[in-house]
């Protein structure tokens, strides 16, 4: 073929949108000396199409913007499996986790995790003679003593605990505590011809406080000063009834008492959560209903409800701040007596401290919230248009409401499995019989060191699979939003009856390797950060100020890196759902597309996410405020801040089921919009009507900012 003919072909490929007949005539005229047969002409056309595909492929790999392609109509139906090697590694890792669970079952004694043990490591409420240890017949049967009572709440080395039949309900803690400090102990003494079961010191000065009988065996019976307690998870915890009516200065022993009873305080908090479990479930379900109603209202009144949500978020923040201030003031008035007799650990003093911290946290949040609102007031108007478009998708694809719940159920099942395996691993070990000259017959539990280190493997698997499940949901949702955007049919009828399942199946069939790759990167980042935080926790007392700042900077850097990688991964999954890229190819295209439109990304994407975050604050704030008011009226709840905090966390998570849907929709729609603008500018675009009105204005502003 002549050079003139070659130029004709290049001219034809360069101007694909020109009239095809004119291009063909031009080529035929230029090739009048050599007329090709029908077969050679067909081969030439095939060769031309292959060159165009190669050119298009090269264009996809280039850093420049997407070029117009008349054959592009959204999600590519024909694709191949991506990142298969990583999928194989992921499956091998999961097989290793199952093998670890099977091995730990053969080595575990989980009863040591939930049954209380006394100072000799004997199980309360259990016949210890049945333990599989040497000389087990020398160990006592404690089946009739299921509760654990600390009879020596003092400094380290003197704390003692016994298994008892029932928890004492009378007595003063201050007497028991002071008695321990002067090495006071009641024995099987007889004073005046009768057995004395009263608290007394070394001079046998009788007190009116009743003693508590603790028989260790048939021949040795001891008596200790009792204090009022209540049963919490089979542990005897001190109550406010153990406080005296007159003040006693115990400030010298505050640190000792806090060290010895910190576990009791934690168990009391768990008990409050258990007592309020049905209220917590009700308020969590209510927050789910509120989130669902909030999504429906956004569907029909996006502009009004976005601004209404902003104002309500202001109101809820102010309400919680005022509530914390009022509670802080009331409880600090009672702090004197409470501090004197409880050493800062009984509920009222703890509530006062918590409300004081919460008050200043709320003040800081109110200031930051106000500044952000003033700065982004104009930008919120733009995000309203994006939210309107995403709301349309929810109206036409109603299964989107159900799919996130399915993902959360998968996550919940996975977490239950992880917790169960962790309990089995933590309980893996062997009890050993030991005789101590000071204590007597006792049991020492030797943990399995191999499983102790393999628990690191288990923890990393927890991070990896958790991120994988979350990313799987994101890719499935991205496929639905992309299919909706690149669809010229207003009703989107050819998307199918259940497009979510179609997108989910496509992700499972073709892109599990890409999901495993992206989730592995995030899991490694999380794991390194958690390791640094663990080392910081273990060495905080030995670190210098300089080292502490270095460690904090490292933690901050890894948190920022994790957020950046998560954002890139999310946009990568969107492009994978559209084009069928592998993971690193998708990351490359996503990063370049974002950097070419950085102004739009900052002004639209982030503002939309922040608007949805305000909805979560409003929903969780309402649930928390109402629950706190109810918990304050419950007599069986002491640390009512704890169950209220649980309500806040759960309601914030549950409300995120729907708000994260919108966040994913905003990210997907905006990425599709950016590609549509680059690929189809000057041609027929897929852009919805809500965005066309400000495309040109936004483009002019972006060009001006880039030039400056």
Q: What is the DSSP string of 652-680?
A: HHHHHHHHHHHHHHHHHHHHHHHHHHHHH
Per-residue confidence (pLDDT) for residue 693, from 0 to 100: 64
Residues 6+ apart with CB under 8 A from 465: 94, 414, 519
Helix axis angle for 403-426 and 641-680, nearest 10°, is 130
Q: What is the pLDDT of residues 575-612, one digit of tens each?
A: 999 888 999 999 999 999 888 878 677 767 766 777 77
* Structure token digits, residue 98: 């199952």
Looking at residue 400, the DSSP 8-state letter turns out to be: G
Helix axis angle for 499-510 and 545-579, nearest 10°, is 110
C-alpha closest to that of 473 among 423, 415, 518, 438: 518
Residue 255 to residue 496: CA distance in whole angstroms: 67
Biggest alpha carbon–alpha carbon distance for the chain: 138
Q: What is the pLDDT of residues 536-569, one digit of tens each?
A: 888 877 777 888 888 889 999 999 999 999 999 9
Whether residue 490 is predicted with pLDDT greater than 60 in this model: the reply is: no
**Phi, psi at residue 231, to the nearest 5°?**
-85, 125
* Structure token digits, residue 336: 């004197």
Residue 550 to residue 563: CA distance in whole angstroms: 20
Q: What is the DSSP string of 118-171?
A: -TT-PBTTSBGGGSSSTTGGGS-B-TT--EEEES--SSTT---EEEESS-----
Per-residue confidence (pLDDT) for residue 295, from 0 to 100: 76
Rounded mean pLDDT of the chain?
A: 73
Provide the phi-psi class of 580: left if phi over 0, else alpha when psi is between -120 and 50, else beta: left
At 3, the pLDDT band (50, 70, 90 cuts) reads: very low
Residue 355 to residue 350: CA distance in whole angstroms: 9
Residue 153 to residue 259: CA distance in whole angstroms: 9
Per-residue confidence (pLDDT) for residue 21, from 0 to 100: 43
């Amino acid at each position: 073929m002549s050079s003139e003919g070659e130029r004709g072909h290049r001219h034809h490929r360069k101007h694909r949108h020109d009239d095809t007949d004119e291009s063909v005539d031009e080529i035929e005229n230029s090739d009048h000396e050599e007329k090709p047969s029908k077969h050679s002409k067909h081969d030439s056309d095939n060769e031309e199409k292959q060159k165009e595909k190669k050119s298009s492929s090269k264009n996809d790999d280039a850093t420049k913007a997407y070029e117009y392609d008349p054959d592009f109509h959204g999600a590519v139906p024909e694709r191949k499996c991506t990142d298969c090697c990583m999928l194989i590694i992921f499956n091998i890792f999961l097989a290793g986790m199952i093998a670890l669970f099977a091995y730990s079952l053969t080595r575990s004694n989980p009863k040591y995790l939930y049954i209380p043990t006394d100072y000799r490591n004997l199980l309360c409420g259990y016949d210890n003679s049945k333990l599989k240890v040497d000389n087990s017949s020398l160990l006592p049967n404690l089946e009739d003593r299921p509760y654990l009572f600390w009879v020596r709440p003092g400094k380290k080395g003197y704390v003692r605990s016994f298994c008892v039949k029932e928890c004492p309900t009378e007595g003063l803690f201050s007497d028991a505590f002071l008695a321990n400090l002067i090495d006071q102990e009641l024995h099987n003494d007889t004073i005046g011809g009768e057995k004395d079961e009263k608290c007394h010191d070394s001079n046998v000065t009788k007190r009116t406080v009743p003693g508590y009988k603790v028989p260790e065996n048939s021949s040795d019976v001891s008596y200790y000063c009792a204090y009022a307690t209540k049963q919490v998870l089979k542990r005897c915890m001190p109550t406010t009834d153990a406080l005296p009516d007159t003040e006693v200065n115990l400030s010298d022993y505050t640190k000792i008492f806090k060290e010895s009873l910190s576990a009791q305080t934690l168990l009391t908090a768990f008990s409050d959560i258990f007592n309020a479990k049905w209220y917590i479930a009700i308020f969590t379900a209510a927050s789910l209903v509120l989130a669902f109603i909030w999504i429906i209202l956004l569907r029909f009144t996006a502009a009004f409800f976005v601004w209404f949500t902003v104002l309500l978020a202001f109101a809820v923040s102010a309400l919680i701040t005022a509530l914390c201030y009022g509670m802080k003031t009331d409880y600090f008035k009672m702090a004197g007596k409470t501090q004197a007799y409880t050493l800062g650990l009984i509920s009222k003093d703890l509530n006062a401290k918590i409300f004081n911290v919460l008050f200043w946290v709320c003040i800081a949040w109110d200031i930051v919230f106000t500044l952000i609102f003033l700065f982004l007031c104009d930008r919120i108007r733009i995000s309203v248009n994006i939210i309107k478009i995403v709301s349309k998708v929810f109206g036409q694809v109603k299964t989107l409401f159900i799919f996130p719940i399915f993902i959360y159920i998968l996550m919940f099942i996975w977490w239950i499995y992880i917790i169960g395996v962790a309990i089995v691993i933590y309980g893996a070990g062997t009890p050993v019989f030991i005789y101590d000259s000071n204590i007597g017959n006792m049991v020492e539990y030797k943990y399995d060191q191999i499983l102790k280190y393999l628990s690191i493997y288990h923890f990393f698997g927890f991070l990896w699979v958790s991120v994988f499940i979350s990313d799987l949901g994101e890719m499935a949702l991205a496929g639905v939003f992309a299919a909706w955007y690149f669809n010229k049919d207003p009703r989107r009828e050819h998307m199918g009856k259940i497009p979510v399942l179609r997108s989910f199946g496509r992700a499972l069939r073709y892109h599990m390797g890409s999901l495993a790759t992206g989730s592995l990167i995030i899991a490694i980042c999380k794991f390194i950060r958690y390791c640094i935080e663990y080392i910081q926790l273990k060495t905080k007392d030995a670190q210098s100020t300089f080292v502490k700042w270095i460690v904090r900077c490292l933690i901050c850097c890894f948190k920022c890196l994790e957020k950046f990688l998560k954002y890139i991964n999310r946009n990568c999954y969107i492009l994978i759902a559209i084009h069928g890229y592998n993971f690193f190819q998708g990351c490359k295209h996503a990063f370049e597309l974002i950097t070419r439109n950085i102004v739009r990304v900052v002004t639209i994407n982030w503002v939309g996410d922040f608007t949805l975050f305000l909805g979560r604050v409003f929903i969780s704030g309402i649930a928390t405020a109402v629950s706190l008011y109810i918990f304050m009226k419950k007599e069986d709840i002491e640390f009512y801040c704890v169950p209220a905090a649980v309500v806040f966390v759960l309601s914030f998570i549950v409300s995120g089921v729907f708000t994260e849907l919108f966040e994913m929709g905003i990210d997907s729609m905006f990425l599709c919009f950016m590609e549509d603008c680059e690929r189809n500018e000057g041609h027929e675009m897929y852009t919805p009507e809500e965005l066309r009105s400000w495309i040109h204005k936004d483009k002019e502003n972006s060009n001006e900012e880039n030039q400056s």
